[in-house]
Protein backbone atom coordinates (compact mmCIF):
# COMPACT_ATOMS: atom_id res chain seq x y z
CA UNK A 1 0.00 0.00 0.00
CA UNK A 2 1.32 3.43 -0.98
CA UNK A 3 1.68 5.92 1.89
CA UNK A 4 2.73 8.88 -0.21
CA UNK A 5 3.07 9.98 -3.82
CA UNK A 6 6.26 11.96 -4.29
CA UNK A 7 5.90 14.61 -7.01
CA UNK A 8 9.59 14.40 -7.86
CA UNK A 9 12.07 12.26 -9.75
CA UNK A 10 14.73 12.93 -7.09
CA UNK A 11 16.27 9.62 -6.03
CA UNK A 12 17.62 11.10 -2.80
CA UNK A 13 14.20 12.39 -1.69
CA UNK A 14 12.68 9.01 -2.40
CA UNK A 15 15.48 7.25 -0.55
CA UNK A 16 15.09 9.49 2.52
CA UNK A 17 11.36 8.73 2.71
CA UNK A 18 11.82 5.01 2.12
CA UNK A 19 14.60 4.83 4.69
CA UNK A 20 12.09 6.30 7.17
CA UNK A 21 9.80 3.32 6.48
CA UNK A 22 7.33 4.84 4.01
CA UNK A 23 6.02 3.19 0.85
CA UNK A 24 6.58 5.75 -1.89
CA UNK A 25 5.48 6.12 -5.47
CA UNK A 26 7.41 8.70 -7.51
CA UNK A 27 5.57 10.70 -10.15
CA UNK A 28 7.65 13.59 -11.50
CA UNK A 29 5.66 16.80 -11.89
CA UNK A 30 5.75 18.29 -15.37
CA UNK A 31 5.82 22.04 -14.84
CA UNK A 32 7.82 24.89 -16.34
CA UNK A 33 9.87 25.78 -13.26
CA UNK A 34 11.86 28.51 -15.00
CA UNK A 35 8.72 30.32 -16.20
CA UNK A 36 7.08 30.13 -12.78
CA UNK A 37 10.24 31.30 -11.02
CA UNK A 38 10.69 34.22 -13.42
CA UNK A 39 7.05 35.24 -13.01
CA UNK A 40 7.35 35.21 -9.23
CA UNK A 41 10.60 37.19 -9.33
CA UNK A 42 8.92 39.75 -11.61
CA UNK A 43 6.31 40.16 -8.86
CA UNK A 44 9.17 40.67 -6.33
CA UNK A 45 8.42 37.44 -4.47
CA UNK A 46 11.05 36.46 -1.91
CA UNK A 47 13.10 33.25 -2.13
CA UNK A 48 11.06 31.50 0.56
CA UNK A 49 7.80 32.22 -1.29
CA UNK A 50 9.32 31.04 -4.57
CA UNK A 51 10.37 27.70 -3.04
CA UNK A 52 6.97 27.23 -1.41
CA UNK A 53 5.05 28.11 -4.57
CA UNK A 54 7.08 25.79 -6.78
CA UNK A 55 6.58 22.93 -4.31
CA UNK A 56 2.83 23.60 -4.35
CA UNK A 57 2.69 23.71 -8.15
CA UNK A 58 4.38 20.30 -8.30
CA UNK A 59 2.07 18.76 -5.71
CA UNK A 60 -1.01 20.19 -7.43
CA UNK A 61 0.02 18.97 -10.87
CA UNK A 62 0.52 15.39 -9.69
CA UNK A 63 -2.59 15.47 -7.48
CA UNK A 64 -4.70 16.30 -10.54
CA UNK A 65 -4.14 12.79 -11.90
CA UNK A 66 -3.93 10.94 -8.57
CA UNK A 67 -6.78 9.30 -6.64
CA UNK A 68 -8.66 11.96 -4.62
CA UNK A 69 -7.65 10.48 -1.27
CA UNK A 70 -3.97 10.20 -2.21
CA UNK A 71 -1.43 12.18 -0.22
CA UNK A 72 0.92 13.97 -2.65
CA UNK A 73 4.20 15.58 -1.59
CA UNK A 74 5.66 18.38 -3.71
CA UNK A 75 9.17 19.67 -2.99
CA UNK A 76 11.47 22.38 -4.23
CA UNK A 77 14.83 23.79 -3.27
CA UNK A 78 15.94 27.40 -3.75
CA UNK A 79 19.31 28.97 -3.07
CA UNK A 80 19.51 32.69 -2.37
CA UNK A 81 22.11 35.32 -1.56
CA UNK A 82 20.68 38.69 -0.54
CA UNK A 83 17.35 37.87 -2.25
CA UNK A 84 19.07 36.85 -5.48
CA UNK A 85 17.78 33.42 -6.46
CA UNK A 86 19.97 30.77 -8.09
CA UNK A 87 18.61 27.99 -10.29
CA UNK A 88 20.29 24.75 -11.37
CA UNK A 89 23.20 25.53 -13.71
CA UNK A 90 22.41 24.81 -17.36
CA UNK A 91 26.07 24.12 -18.22
CA UNK A 92 29.55 23.96 -16.71
CA UNK A 93 30.30 27.63 -17.44
CA UNK A 94 27.18 28.69 -15.57
CA UNK A 95 28.15 26.42 -12.68
CA UNK A 96 31.55 28.13 -12.57
CA UNK A 97 29.90 31.57 -12.40
CA UNK A 98 27.54 30.44 -9.63
CA UNK A 99 30.38 29.10 -7.51
CA UNK A 100 32.43 32.24 -8.15
CA UNK A 101 29.56 34.34 -6.76
CA UNK A 102 28.91 32.00 -3.81
CA UNK A 103 32.54 31.58 -2.68
CA UNK A 104 33.41 33.46 0.48
CA UNK A 105 29.72 34.15 1.16
CA UNK A 106 26.96 32.82 3.37
CA UNK A 107 23.87 31.84 1.42
CA UNK A 108 20.50 30.38 2.35
CA UNK A 109 19.29 27.05 1.04
CA UNK A 110 15.51 26.66 1.31
CA UNK A 111 13.80 23.29 1.02
CA UNK A 112 10.03 23.56 0.67
CA UNK A 113 7.51 20.75 1.09
CA UNK A 114 3.76 20.91 0.42
CA UNK A 115 1.28 18.09 0.97
CA UNK A 116 -1.85 17.90 -1.18
CA UNK A 117 -4.94 15.85 -0.39
CA UNK A 118 -8.31 15.95 -2.14
CA UNK A 119 -6.90 18.53 -4.56
CA UNK A 120 -5.98 21.10 -1.93
CA UNK A 121 -2.90 21.89 0.17
CA UNK A 122 -3.20 20.49 3.70
CA UNK A 123 0.30 21.16 5.05
CA UNK A 124 3.43 23.10 4.11
CA UNK A 125 6.88 23.83 5.50
CA UNK A 126 10.09 25.54 4.36
CA UNK A 127 13.36 24.44 5.93
CA UNK A 128 16.10 27.10 5.84
CA UNK A 129 19.80 26.30 6.13
CA UNK A 130 22.72 28.77 6.28
CA UNK A 131 25.63 27.61 4.13
CA UNK A 132 29.03 29.36 4.34
CA UNK A 133 31.62 28.69 1.65
CA UNK A 134 35.37 29.01 1.76
CA UNK A 135 37.08 31.49 -0.54
CA UNK A 136 38.46 30.01 -3.78
CA UNK A 137 40.56 31.04 -6.73
CA UNK A 138 39.22 30.57 -10.25
CA UNK A 139 41.65 27.67 -10.72
CA UNK A 140 40.33 25.95 -7.58
CA UNK A 141 36.73 26.29 -8.78
CA UNK A 142 37.69 24.87 -12.19
CA UNK A 143 39.50 21.93 -10.56
CA UNK A 144 36.48 21.22 -8.36
CA UNK A 145 34.13 21.23 -11.36
CA UNK A 146 36.45 18.91 -13.29
CA UNK A 147 36.00 16.45 -10.41
CA UNK A 148 32.31 17.01 -9.64
CA UNK A 149 30.80 17.53 -13.10
CA UNK A 150 28.30 16.28 -14.34
CA UNK A 151 26.95 15.06 -10.97
CA UNK A 152 26.46 18.62 -9.73
CA UNK A 153 24.67 19.73 -12.91
CA UNK A 154 21.41 18.66 -11.23
CA UNK A 155 22.11 20.70 -8.09
CA UNK A 156 21.24 24.30 -7.38
CA UNK A 157 24.50 26.07 -6.57
CA UNK A 158 26.49 23.40 -8.45
CA UNK A 159 27.44 21.47 -5.34
CA UNK A 160 26.54 18.27 -3.55
CA UNK A 161 27.28 18.86 0.10
CA UNK A 162 26.79 15.14 0.78
CA UNK A 163 29.63 14.31 -1.66
CA UNK A 164 32.78 16.06 -2.87
CA UNK A 165 30.99 19.41 -2.44
CA UNK A 166 31.46 19.10 1.33
CA UNK A 167 34.99 20.45 0.88
CA UNK A 168 33.56 23.76 -0.34
CA UNK A 169 32.02 24.67 3.02
CA UNK A 170 33.41 26.10 6.23
CA UNK A 171 30.07 25.98 8.05
CA UNK A 172 26.55 24.57 7.61
CA UNK A 173 23.89 25.69 10.08
CA UNK A 174 20.52 23.96 10.03
CA UNK A 175 18.78 20.71 9.24
CA UNK A 176 20.91 18.30 7.22
CA UNK A 177 17.89 16.70 5.55
CA UNK A 178 16.91 20.12 4.21
CA UNK A 179 20.37 20.39 2.66
CA UNK A 180 19.58 17.15 0.83
CA UNK A 181 16.35 18.64 -0.54
CA UNK A 182 13.63 17.57 1.89
CA UNK A 183 12.70 18.83 5.40
CA UNK A 184 12.25 15.19 6.35
CA UNK A 185 11.79 15.53 10.11
CA UNK A 186 8.98 18.05 9.63
CA UNK A 187 7.27 15.83 7.06
CA UNK A 188 7.51 12.82 9.37
CA UNK A 189 6.23 14.82 12.35
CA UNK A 190 3.16 15.82 10.35
CA UNK A 191 2.54 12.24 9.20
CA UNK A 192 2.86 11.12 12.82
CA UNK A 193 0.18 13.62 13.86
CA UNK A 194 -2.06 12.17 11.15
CA UNK A 195 -1.64 8.75 12.70
CA UNK A 196 0.33 7.38 9.75
CA UNK A 197 3.50 6.64 11.73
CA UNK A 198 4.26 4.92 14.98
CA UNK A 199 7.47 5.39 17.02
% of the chain surpassing 70 pLDDT: 100
Report the C-alpha gap between 104 and 169 in whole angstroms. 9
Do the bridges between strand 169-173 and strand 120-133 make them parallel or antiparallel, or are there none, so unpaired?
antiparallel
Q: What CA–CA distance (Å, rounded) separates 40 from 190?
A: 28
**Quick check: 128 pLDDT over 80?**
yes
CB 181 within 8 A of CB 111: yes
Average pLDDT score over the chain:
95
- 4-193 topology per CATH: Maf protein (3.90.950)
Phi and psi, residue 143, nearest 5°: -65, -40
Percent of the chain with pLDDT over 90: 90
CA 175 to chain CA centroid, nearest Å: 13
Q: What is the pLDDT of residue 28?
A: 95
Residues 6+ apart with CB under 8 A from 137: none
In this predicted structure, the answer to whether residue 118 has a pLDDT above a threshold of 80 is yes
| Alpha carbon distances (Å) from 6 to 27, 32, 55, 105, 166 | 6, 18, 11, 33, 27
pLDDT score of 7? 98
Residue 37: per-residue pLDDT: 92
Q: What is the pLDDT of residue 68?
A: 85
38-57 confidence digits (pLDDT tens): 999 999 999 999 999 999 99
pLDDT tops 80 at residue 163: yes
Q: Which residues are identified as catalytic?
A: 76
Burial class (CB in 10 A: 0-12, 13-18, 19+), 65: exposed
* 3-state secondary structure (DSSP) of residue 84: strand
For the chain, the domains span: 4-193
**Residue 83 pLDDT class (50, 70, 90 cuts):** confident
Residue-by-residue DSSP string for 125-177: EEEEEEEEEPP--HHHHHHHHHHHTTGGGGSGGG--TTTGGGGGEEEEES-HH
Is the predicted pLDDT of residue 75 greater than 90, yes or no? yes
What is the pTM (predicted TM-score) of this model? Answer: 0.93
Given this model, what pLDDT does residue 87 score?
83
Amino acid sequence: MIDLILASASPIRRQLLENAGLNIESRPARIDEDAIRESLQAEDAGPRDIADTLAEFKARRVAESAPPDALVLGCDQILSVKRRVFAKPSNKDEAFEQLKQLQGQTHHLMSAAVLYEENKPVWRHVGVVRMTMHTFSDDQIATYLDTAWPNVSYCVGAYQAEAVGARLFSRIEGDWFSVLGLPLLDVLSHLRLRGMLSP
